[in-house]
Amino acid sequence: MIRQSKSSISSLEIKLTTNVLKREFLGMGQEVQEFELAIQKFIGTKKNVICVNSGTAALHLALLALNIKCGDDILVPSITYVASIQAIKAVGANPIFCDVGKDNVFIDIIDLQKKITKKTRAIMPVHYAGDSSNMKLIYQFAKENNIKVIEDAAHSFGSFYRGKRVGFFGDAICFSFDGIKNITSGEGGAVVMRKNKSASFIKDARLLGVINDSKKRYTNNRSYTFDVKHIGFRYHMSNINAAIGLAQLSRFETFSIKRKSIVKNYIKHLSSLKGIRLLNLEWDNMVAHIFPVRVLNNKRDQLKNFLLKKNIQTGFHYMPNHKLSFFKTKKIASLPNCEVLSKELITLPLHNDLTIKNQKYIIENIINFLNDYN
Ligand SMILES: *Cc1c(COP(=O)(O)O)cnc(C)c1O
């Protein structure tokens, strides 16, 4: 089976995690601090980088740090991973589902204008597939309306925006390092936070709110006498996970070259085909996390099954969240582009170990399918 996505683990990840295991200091310590500094350097930022144990935890803590509370409304695209929505729910806020652009699956600016009310406190744009080229409009919109921005950058680690790595610009940028993201730490995530006060909140909140425990742990110590001044969780990253992350980050350039060449090849062979439409993203600036395409004429599920019979696994990113039982409310008006995309989107295989031969086989089968069915 050709997998749609997978982790890519070398001897380096094994070596660095083995070192942690042998040192017998598995919790949060030296490696976590090293990973945070390495991410900071990679992005080229002086902003705070705080590692946590998932991208969802990163979003949750970023919302808390920006003082998002029960009853606040947060604008969010309906097509995103359920993690974005559950993070909003976790602080007791209301996700206000917005439509997305049909050709970029990015939160729709015109719909934002319609959905904003006095209760709106923030917007959570998602860098779908890794594209953040419309973030300028988001910050402009946020400024005009005096609301906060929490970027779900789970797909865009290592991508470029205005000539800098994602995370360089912006106030609160959340990354995920789960098993299949652009880099993985096994499970994990990070918040890049502009304001020092908010960053300091997150550093404590990831360790049950224990004041300054982060600093202690970096020197392989911990706090036995301490104070707690606000809510906290067990959201910190372990040295084992950080070791995997450090190895992956040092391999990033190889990953980037590989992902870019796969994307380029898909675009070259698929862009002129009738029956499918590629998304209009700024691919050249991206290290794409996924390669979704739109299958027209109601043929998506047929293509998916056809490819599966040829041992090619595909994905679907994502079901519109406003349709899920827990998030559904009577008030939600239809989101026309989300409706269309939920029937059209299919994600083709894209990962670091996809061979040229296998990609050729995928492309041939898509062409065969379209020839037979059109
Ligand atoms: C992966 C992902 C997350 C959450 O990250 P986890 O590390 O899996 O918790 C959030 N948003 C999007 C869009 C994602 O793809």
Q: Tokens in use for 235?
A: 């959201």
Q: What is the pLDDT of residue 374?
A: 61
176 CA from centroid of ligand 1 (Å): 5
Mean pLDDT of 183-209: 98
Mean pLDDT of 36-64: 98
94 CA from centroid of ligand 1 (Å): 19
Which of 59, 178, 182 has most ligand 1 atoms within 8 Å of its beta carbon, as the pocket-test mutant?
A: 178
pLDDT grade, residue 332 (50/70/90)? confident
Residue nearest to atom 5 of ligand 1 (CA): 55
pLDDT at position 145 over 70 = yes
Binding-site residues, ligand 1, Cβ < 6 A: 54-56, 80-81, 83-84, 126, 152, 154-155, 176, 178, 189
SS3 state at 79: coil
* Nearest ligand 1 atom to alpha carbon 289: 15
Mean pLDDT of 19-29: 96
81 CA from centroid of ligand 1 (Å): 6
51 CA from centroid of ligand 1 (Å): 14
22 CA from centroid of ligand 1 (Å): 31
52 touches 236 (CB < 8 A): yes
pLDDT at position 223 over 90 = no
pLDDT at position 220 over 90 = no
pLDDT grade, residue 330 (50/70/90)? confident
Q: What is the pLDDT of residue 219?
A: 87
80 touches 127 (CB < 8 A): no
Q: Tokens in use for 196?
A: 């020092």
Q: Write phi, then psi, for 117 (nearest 5 degrees).
A: -135, -175
pLDDT at position 373 over 80 = no
Q: What is the pLDDT of residue 222?
A: 80
SS3 state at 150: coil
Mean pLDDT of 5-32: 97
pLDDT at position 153 over 80 = yes
Q: Give the start-end residues of each E strand in the chain.
A: 48-52, 73-77, 94-98, 120-123, 148-149, 151-152, 160-161, 164-165, 172-176, 189-193, 276-278, 291-295, 345-348
Alpha-carbon 339 to chain mean position: 22
pLDDT tens-digit profile of 233-246? 999 999 999 999 99
pTM: 0.98
pLDDT tens-digit profile of 257-308? 999 999 999 999 999 999 999 999 999 999 999 999 999 999 999 999 999 9
Q: Order across the sheet with 148-149: list the strands.
A: 94-98, 73-77, 120-123, 148-149
Q: Write phi, then psi, for 85 (nearest 5 degrees).
A: -70, -45
Query: String of b and e for 199-208 (b: at least 16 CB within 10 Å)?
Result: bbbbbbbbbe
pLDDT at position 64 over 80 = yes
Cα(101)–Cα(106) distance, integer angstroms: 5
Percentage of residues in the chain having pLDDT higher than 90: 96
The contacts of residue 331 (CB under 8 Å, 6+ apart) are none
Mean pLDDT of 65-94: 98
Mean pLDDT of 40-57: 98
Give the CB-side neighbour count of residue 229, counting CA atoms within 13 A.
Answer: 8
* Nearest ligand 1 atom to alpha carbon 126: 13
Which of 53, 176, 181, 237 has most ligand 1 atoms within 8 Å of its beta carbon, as the pocket-test mutant?
A: 176
Q: Is 203 left (phi over 0), alpha (psi -120 to 50) or beta?
A: alpha
Which of 79, 84, 85, 132 has most ligand 1 atoms within 8 Å of its beta carbon, as the pocket-test mutant?
A: 84
